[in-house]
């Protein structure tokens, strides 16, 4: 079968202009998903284009994604990224992946052994919020998580990312090898701290001495990642086939914009990703909060209220003046005031750039996709700014509307009475609450009282209950489009 490794590609395609044999698997990455392919692996590919860097990836999918790993192997670990702008497309073949593993084919031990190899300096992750097995309300390890229970009982055959990382560090310690850096690249606030807290707590439950060694020797830098990468659809794969001249089942499309801000805290060296446009800083938190609140918060707002309003894609919501203005106001009036940014940061310029990115018609970013896992995302994207407005006594009606949209969405029935396929780790629990109340404003305090999503100082605050109830009532009576227009 012809693939990108053994055929002539269209001349406009940018291919790796370096000797891939010099690359070593110095980074083991957990979660070979769409975002990682279009972001960290692309930065690493560009670094290899510009320098004699030998930093390469071993990609690991722990859950599912077997077929993707098989396809990647069939094409010599090459794959394509199509950067789709409003005016033009750039097609790039990425060569920074050297090898891949999957416990289903290779076994758990092979993954642990790979992470324990002396040259591995970084284990990075894009495993989504739920991969950290942390309680969203406390940020601590969720000891009742089925994966955590299983891995503590049988640490040699781990299932969770935490279990693999701790087991690999145990092996390295026993062999007298230096530890690796654990780098989270997930859209989670202070992702390095979340990873550190979960891994240390897990390790100490397993072996107190090992936990102390990890705490003393391993670093967990925070990162802020940004690029809009919709899930691959048949339509985008066909489009990339036309641009490329051959099929690539591992290909992915994304927007031209990208950003990566990294806390410079690595125990065993790191690539010079700054040469490819990343930024190393002492403190990532302000940038992370800017992105989580302004981009991700308004994305969630548009996802729930857009889906309910009948819009399939984020770019579709931007054709509606009400949604476009509400999203900008959400950024500038609800989110920006709550931020504490370095001097000279242009938040209005950032908000305008976000609106332009959301408007890009080439990106088919589904509202349904962004709406996934809301119980994990809402606390991160709206909690901090809600606290700010409650302390300041300022208006937070945009946040209230976004939360009300989520509540209406998780009832699993849209405005036309059609079923919504709600994907969320708490979907059953949320639907059960909604079923008790029906389409009635009494559901608002019931959902706000779920402490895994809303901390008590938010969920039990009368102002929050009133504001969300008012927005929810408007959604029931007038629908999403009229509710957004009224903002």
φ, ψ dihedrals at 72, nearest 5°: -60, -45
Residue 3, in any domain of the structure: no
- Structural domain boundaries enclosing 402: 285-486
Residue 15, in any domain of the structure: no
Same domain as 292, residue 432? yes
The structure tokens listed for 369 are 């996709």
Residues 6+ apart with CB under 8 A from 385: 293, 297, 334, 335, 337, 338, 396, 399
Residue 129, in any domain of the structure: yes
Q: How far apart are CA 61 and CA 242, in angstroms?
A: 28
pLDDT tens, position by position, 421-453? 999 999 999 999 999 999 999 999 999 999 999
Same domain as 246, residue 383? no
Q: How far apart are CA 469 and CA 102, in angstroms?
A: 47
Same domain as 189, residue 47? yes
**Mean pLDDT, rounded, of the chain:** 95
Q: What is the pTM of this model?
A: 0.83
Q: How far apart are CA 75 and CA 252, in angstroms?
A: 15
Residue 12, pLDDT score: 87
Other C-beta atoms within 10 Å of 277: how many? 12
pLDDT tens, position by position, 162-191? 999 999 999 999 999 999 999 999 988 899
Which of 223, 257, 281 is the endpoint of a domain? 281
Same domain as 315, residue 260? no
Q: What are the strands of the beta sheet with 223-226, ordered from one edge? A: 223-226, 259-263, 279-281
Q: How confident is the model at residue 87 (pLDDT cuts 50, 70, 90)?
A: confident
Q: 280 forms bridges with which residues in the sheet?
A: 262
Residue 5, in any domain of the structure: no
The structure tokens listed for 52 are 């004699």
Same domain as 188, residue 68? yes
Q: 59 forms bridges with which residues in the sheet?
A: 29, 100
What's the Rg (C-alpha) of the chain? 23
CATH, residue 277: 3.40.50.720
Among the listed residues 170, 181, 177, 180, the one whose alpha carbon sits nearest the alpha carbon of residue 203:
170
Same domain as 171, residue 147? yes
Q: What is the dihedral of CA 238, 240, 246, 248, to 10 degrees?
A: -90
Looking at residues 42-57, what average pLDDT do you find?
98
Q: How confident is the model at residue 152 (pLDDT cuts 50, 70, 90)?
A: very high
Number of domains in the chain: 2
Residue 469, pLDDT score: 98
Q: How far apart are CA 291 and CA 157, in angstroms?
A: 37
Same domain as 135, residue 74? yes
Same domain as 350, residue 231? no
Q: How far apart are CA 470 and CA 155, in angstroms?
A: 49
Which of 254, 281, 308 is the endpoint of a domain? 281
Residue 336, in any domain of the structure: yes
Residue 13, in any domain of the structure: no
Start-to-end C-alpha separation, the chain: 55
Residue 342, in any domain of the structure: yes
Residue 290, pLDDT score: 94
Residue 188, pLDDT score: 84
Among the listed residues 379, 385, 464, 473, the one whose alpha carbon sits nearest the alpha carbon of residue 426:
379
Q: How confident is the model at residue 1 (pLDDT cuts 50, 70, 90)?
A: low
Same domain as 264, residue 334? no
Which of 281, 310, 326 is the endpoint of a domain? 281
Residue 138, pLDDT score: 78
HEC readout, 269-316: CCCCHHHHCCEEECCCHHHHHHHHHHHHHHHHHHHHHHHHCCCCEHHH
pLDDT tens, position by position, 350-373? 999 999 999 998 888 899 999 999
Q: How confident is the model at residue 7 (pLDDT cuts 50, 70, 90)?
A: confident
In 175-296, alpha helices (H): 191-206, 208-217, 234-244, 285-290
**Contact assessment for residue 219 and residue 181, using Cβ atoms and an 8 Å cutoff:** yes
Q: How far apart are CA 452 and CA 456, in angstroms?
A: 10
Looking at residues 463-472, what average pLDDT do you find?
98
Same domain as 373, residue 256? no
Q: How many residues does the chain have?
A: 487
Same domain as 451, residue 323? yes
pLDDT tens, position by position, 296-316? 999 999 999 999 999 999 999
Residue 2, pLDDT score: 73
pLDDT tens, position by position, 92-126? 999 999 999 999 999 999 999 999 999 999 999 99
Q: How confident is the model at residue 330 (pLDDT cuts 50, 70, 90)?
A: very high
Among the listed residues 324, 323, 351, 355, the one whose alpha carbon sits nearest the alpha carbon of residue 337:
351
Q: Helix 462-478 vs helix 397-409: angle between axes, to the nearest 10 degrees? A: 60
Among the listed residues 60, 63, 54, the one whose alpha carbon sits nearest the alpha carbon of residue 77:
60
Residue 442, in any domain of the structure: yes
CATH, residue 380: 1.10.1040.10
**Contact assessment for residue 29 and residue 102, using Cβ atoms and an 8 Å cutoff:** no
Among the listed residues 197, 175, 179, the one whose alpha carbon sits nearest the alpha carbon of residue 188:
197
Same domain as 437, residue 472? yes
Residue 233, pLDDT score: 87
Q: How confident is the model at residue 135 (pLDDT cuts 50, 70, 90)?
A: confident
Q: How far apart are CA 52 and CA 57, in angstroms?
A: 15
pLDDT tens, position by position, 272-282? 999 999 999 99
């Amino acid at each position: 079968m012809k693939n990108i490794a053994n055929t002539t590609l269209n001349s406009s395609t940018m291919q790796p202009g370096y000797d891939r044999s010099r690359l070593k698997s110095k980074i083991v990455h957990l979660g070979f998903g769409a975002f990682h392919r279009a972001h960290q692996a692309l930065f690493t590919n560009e670094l290899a284009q510009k320098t004699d860097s030998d930093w390469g990836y071993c990609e690991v999918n722990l859950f599912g994604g077997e077929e993707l790993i098989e396809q990647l192997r069939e094409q010599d670990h090459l794959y394509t990224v199509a950067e789709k702008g409003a005016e033009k497309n750039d097609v790039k073949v990425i060569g920074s992946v050297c090898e891949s593993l999957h416990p289903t084919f290779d076994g758990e031990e092979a993954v642990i052994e790979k992470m324990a190899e002396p040259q591995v300096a970084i284990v990075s992750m894009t495993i989504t919020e739920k991969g950290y097995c942390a309680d969203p309300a406390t940020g601590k390890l969720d000891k009742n998580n089925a994966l955590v229970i299983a891995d503590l009982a049988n640490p040699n055959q781990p299932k969770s990312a935490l279990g693999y990382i701790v087991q690999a560090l145990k092996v390295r310690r026993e062999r007298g090898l230096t530890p690796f850096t654990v780098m989270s690249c997930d859209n989670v606030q202070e992702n390095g701290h979340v990873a550190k807290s979960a891994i240390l707590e897990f390790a100490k439950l397993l072996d107190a001495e090992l936990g102390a060694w990890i705490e003393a020797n391993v670093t967990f830098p925070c990162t802020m990642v940004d690029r809009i990468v919709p899930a691959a659809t048949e339509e985008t794969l066909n489009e990339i086939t036309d641009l490329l001249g051959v099929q690539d089942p591992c290909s992915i499309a994304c927007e031209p914009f990208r950003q990566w801000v990294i806390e410079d805290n690595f125990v065993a060296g790191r690539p010079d990703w700054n040469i490819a446009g990343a930024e190393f800083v002492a403190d990532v938190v302000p940038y992370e909060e800017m992105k989580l609140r302004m981009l991700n918060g308004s994305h969630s707002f548009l996802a729930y209220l857009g889906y309910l309003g009948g819009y399939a894609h984020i770019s579709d919501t931007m054709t509606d003046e009400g949604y476009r203005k509400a999203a900008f106001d959400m950024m500038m009036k609800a989110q920006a005031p709550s931020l504490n940014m370095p001097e000279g940061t242009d938040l209005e310029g950032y908000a305008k750039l976000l609106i332009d990115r959301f408007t890009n018609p080439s990106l088919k970013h589904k509202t349904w996709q962004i709406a996934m896992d809301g119980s994990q995302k809402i606390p991160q994207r709206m909690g901090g700014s809600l606290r700010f407005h409650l302390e300041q006594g300022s208006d937070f009606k945009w946040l209230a509307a976004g939360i009300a949209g989520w509540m209406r969405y998780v009832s699993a029935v849209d405005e036309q009475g059609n079923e919504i396929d709600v994907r969320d780790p708490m979907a059953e629990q949320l639907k059960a609450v909604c079923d008790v109340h029906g389409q009635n404003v009494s559901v608002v305090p019931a959902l706000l009282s779920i402490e895994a999503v809303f901390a008590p100082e938010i969920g039990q605050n009368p102002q929050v209950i009133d504001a969300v109830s008012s927005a929810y009532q408007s959604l029931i009576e007038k629908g999403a489009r009229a509710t957004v227009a009224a903002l």
